[in-house]
Structures are given as structure tokens and as C-alpha cells.
Amino acid sequence: MLNAIHIKEKGLAVENQKVNNGIFKSSGISLLSYEYIPAPKRGEIVRQIGDALRQKIKVLGSLVSLEMGKIFVEGVGEVQEYVDVCDYAVGLSRMIGGPILPSERPGHALIEQWNPVGLVGVITAFNFPVAVYGWNSAIAMICGNACLWKGAPTTSLVSVAVTKIIAKVLEDNKLPGAICSLVCGGADIGTAMARDERMDLLSFTGSTKVGKQVALMVQERFGRSLLELGGNNAIIVFEDADLNLVIPSALFAAVGTAGQRCTTARRLFLHESIHDEVVAKLAKAYAQVRIGDPWDSDTLYGPLHTKEAVKMFLDAVEQAKQQGGSVVCGGKVINRPGNYVEPTIVTGLPHDAPIVHTETFAPILYVLKFKEEEEVFAWNNEVKQGLSSSIFTKDLGRIFRWEGTFPDPKEELYLIFVCRPKGSDCGIVNVNIPTSGAEIGGAFGGEKHTGGGRESGSDSWKLYMRRSTCTINYSKDLPLAQGIKFQ
């Protein structure tokens, strides 16, 4: 059984920092023993994994809270998300497959066949140490793949715990625990996974900087990668917005998980007519945020993950001041044990200030004024990332323009095809809800420097499979496509 394994002990040759040409001795048997199980039977195994996680949900949630620093209720919610994906994957296991297409040739069948890619590597980040692995592994498993997981070095306890739970379910079904294996370590292990040609798909969640390196290493061997990278997410509030929705939404999106979600709201665009009112109400809401021990049920806001994150927070606040910003509230380290900083609101910066265009994984919200719809939609899209976005409005026409469903009827037809999107260019485009808190039924991911990958719901399962177009001749004749005669 390959549970938490040391990478050298599984057969990696000693070269390229001792791990970079990795070949895992036991992977072949595990792959063969699993991919030939019918998909609905694989779904039953994933259902059992979901049940096993459900039984340990509070213990696992506590581990997430302990290692990552997020509040207990968010830790439990993260495990619940894995359980939800398992439930979703069970139904999906009876639905995956391709169509039977009409053939132009008599006596021929044209079939689209989907098969597992083989071995799926999953590299997860510290901020969602369980949920992101769940998005990948549950879907990959019902597709017939084996998984090799490298969690963040700072969240190894919960990685080991989850892997042991999965391994027990597999072994109870007389399958190798190695179907879902775990490696622990740092960047050298990730490099090994990216360069290993037996890694049929590598899913990476992390920073844009590291994700670019991973993508290049995988592409160098013509492998597949699935990237979930950074986000510089914006909320846009128009003058007709319901402020009873805006304030709690902005608070949750900017302060939840201490600003360490990839979907955290980092930019808040307010129409100039309501700017001062919203800032005042939001500052009042910030002052009421209950800061404390993540395990305390009354706490809403815990510490940052590392001391390095605290330093980045302070550097960003200082840069914002130097670039003309004013700190409305927060901006300081909290005098208590742990990596606690004050949730921070900054106003007065231009929309294109360098610090506004920089993703800082910390609870800093830049509040910016706008006048017109067209300009603020463009400002939403001007950053390099394209993960999540949201507007607050009651105007139906504006909502559909934001989603990109309909162009402005006043524009010439040729402009529709050559111009950038009229609305948001992000992978997640919300209306009257926060930028964070996505449901598992939709595909999760973003565009541009966010990486383009999609995980969880919709047709994301296709990324974990390879597609073949199969033509079957069941006649006694040999007609060629396009009416070609070759005789």
C-alpha cells in the first residue's frame, strides 16, 4: 500500500535534485486493477469515500483549522465540499461517455469513446488542503484514474488523514490503497511530478508564478496540465444595488478565510453616487468582525497562514500608501500570538495603480470609484487574472451585458467579433452574490493568468479522460468518406 510515501523509496533515480525523473514502481498494477472496473462500480467506491469522510467531518475540519488557520466552521465546510463532490461524482459515473454520431457511410457507426488518462497528479495549495483534492480525485476516480497527491508542506497532517481514509475504503473493496497515493515534500517533489512522463495529467493549484513553471515543464514533455492559479477579483456596485446585499457580500468576500481564498474580493468598485455611504457602512461592519482562535465557534476571522504572509500584507499596505491610497481601517499587525493582521480597507487609489493590479494573499480591499458601466467593466477586465467577478444591480439589461449574453445593439456587427468581451472576461461571473463561495455543480476555474483550467462540476470530467473517435464498418462494402473513389 502506498499511502504517505517518501519519494525516493518508491524508485526515483538519484539525479536532478535526486527526484526529478521519477518513476513509481507500483503504479502500473494499481492502474490496471482499477480502470477496468465499470464506471458505476467506481462511483459506488467514491460514494463510500464520501460516507467515510462524512463520519470524520468534524475531526478533519479541526485538522484543517489547526494547520491552515481558517476558522473551524470553514474547515468543516471544506470537508463537506469534498463530500458533496463525491455525491455528485456518483451520479456522474452513470452519465460519462460520448455520443453515437451519424455516419455519412452506409453500414458504418461513428462513436466517441472516452477512456481514463491513467495517472492524475494533484498538487494542492495550503488554503484549501482538502476541497481542491476532492474536486480532482472524486471526478478522476469515477473516470477510472489513479491519483498521486502532493499537498502543501504546511498541511501534511490533514493530507495523511484523508489519504488513510480513502485507502481503507479501497482496501475494504479489495483494491490497492495505492490507487490514491500521497507524497509529502516541497518544490523538488512538485518538479518531479511535473517532469515525470508517467504523470498523464497534472492538476496544479497555486500561484501564477509557480503555475507558469509547472506548465512549461509539463508542456516540454507534451503532457497535460490543469491549472488553477491566482485571482484579482472585483465586485462592482451600481447605484441601484441593494446595499443590504452588498455589505455582507463584500465583507464575506474580502474578509473570509482572512483574505486567503483565490476568489477573495480584492477590488471593490463603487458608483460615485454611493461611494461614501458604502465605505462608511463597510468600515462599521469591519469593526464588528470577531477576531480570535479559529477553533472558537464565535470567531469569524483567524490568522494568516505564515509569517511571510504577514510581511507581504505590511508591504502591500505600505505600497498602497506610497501610491496615494488612504487606509480607512486596519493596516496593522494585531498584538497577539499568531499571524494576525487587521482586515483592511484602502480608498483613494486609481483603478490602474500597480498595487491594485497586484494580487496580495491577505485581507486588503481596494475601494475604487467609477462613473459609467462601460469603464468599470473594462477595469474589471484589465488585470492579468480572470477568476471571479460580481456585480450588484437590478438592471436586467446590464446583467445580461455583464454575463456577455447580448452585445450592445448600438454596436456595429463587425465590432462584436473584434472587440474584447462586453462584460466580464472571468471564469466565474456572478450577479448580486459575492465573488467567493462557488457551488460544486458548476465548473470552477478562470481565464488568462488564472490558468484556464476547470475542476468540479459541469463537463470538467472530460479533462480527466482521453477521447477517441471510433468508426466501425459492419457492412461488406468499403465506402470512403467524402465520396472518394480509390480503385
Q: Read out DSSP for 237-279? A: E-TT--HHHHHHHHHHHHHGGGG-STT-EEEEEEETTTHHHHH
The phi, psi pair for 13, rounded to 5°, reads -70, 155
What Rg do the C-alpha atoms of the chain give, in angstroms? 25
Residue 89's nearest CA partner among 53, 39, 44, 139 is: 139
Residue 149's nearest CA partner among 119, 118, 117 is: 119
Amino acid at 342: E
* Sole residue written with cell 497534472: 202
3-state secondary structure of 197: coil
* Sole residue written with cell 476568489: 263
* Residue 31 CA to its chain's centroid (Å): 26
* Sole residue written with cell 525523473: 21
Sign of the four-CA dihedral 155, 158, 161, 167:
negative
Contacts of residue 355, defined as CB under 8 A and 6 or more positions apart, other chains included, come to 316, 319, 320, 323, 325, 349, 366
Residue 237's nearest CA partner among 370, 147, 113 is: 370
Q: Which three cell numbers stand for residue 262?
A: 483565490
Distance CA(165)–CA(5), nearest Å, equals 15
- Name the active-site residue from 67, 78, 228, 455: 228
Q: Which three cell numbers stand for residue 67?
A: 494547520
Residue 127's nearest CA partner among 230, 55, 6 is: 230
Amino acid at 458: S
Told to judge if 239 belongs to the known catalytic residues of this protein, a careful annotator would answer no
Distance CA(143)–CA(450), nearest Å, equals 25
Distance CA(9)–CA(289), nearest Å, equals 48
Please provide the distance, in angstroms rounded to a whole number, between the alpha carbons at the two ends of the chain: 58
Residue 21's nearest CA partner among 141, 173, 208, 192 is: 192
Residue 153's nearest CA partner among 180, 128, 187, 121 is: 187
Amino acid at 67: E
Contact (CB, 8 A) for 57 and 71: no
- Catalytic positions are 228
